[in-house]
Amino acid sequence: MEAADKRVYVVDDDESVRTALTRSLEKRGYSVLCYDSGDSFLQSYESGHTGCLVLDVRMPGMSGLDVQEQLVDKHPSLPIIFVTGHGDIPMSVRAMKNGAFEFLEKPYSVDSLQQHIEQAIAKSAELLEQERYASEINQRFSKLTARELDVMRLLVAGIANNSNKEIARELSISHRTVDDHRARIMSKMQARSLAELVEMSKICGIHEP
- 183 membership: H or E segment, kind and range: helix 175-189
* Class in CATH terms, 143-203: mainly alpha
For the chain, helix (H) and strand (E) counts, in that order, are 9, 5
pLDDT tier at 32, thresholds 50, 70, 90: very high
* Class in CATH terms, 3-129: alpha beta
Contact 67, 38 (CB under 8 A): yes
Q: Over 80: is that where the pLDDT of 148 sits?
A: yes
Peptide bond into 209 cis (omega under 30): no
Q: What is the pLDDT of residues 6-19, one digit of tens each?
A: 899 999 999 999 99
Regarding pTM above 0.75, the answer is: yes
Domain span(s) for CATH 1.10.10.10 in the chain: 143-203
Domain span(s) for CATH 3.40.50.2300 in the chain: 3-129
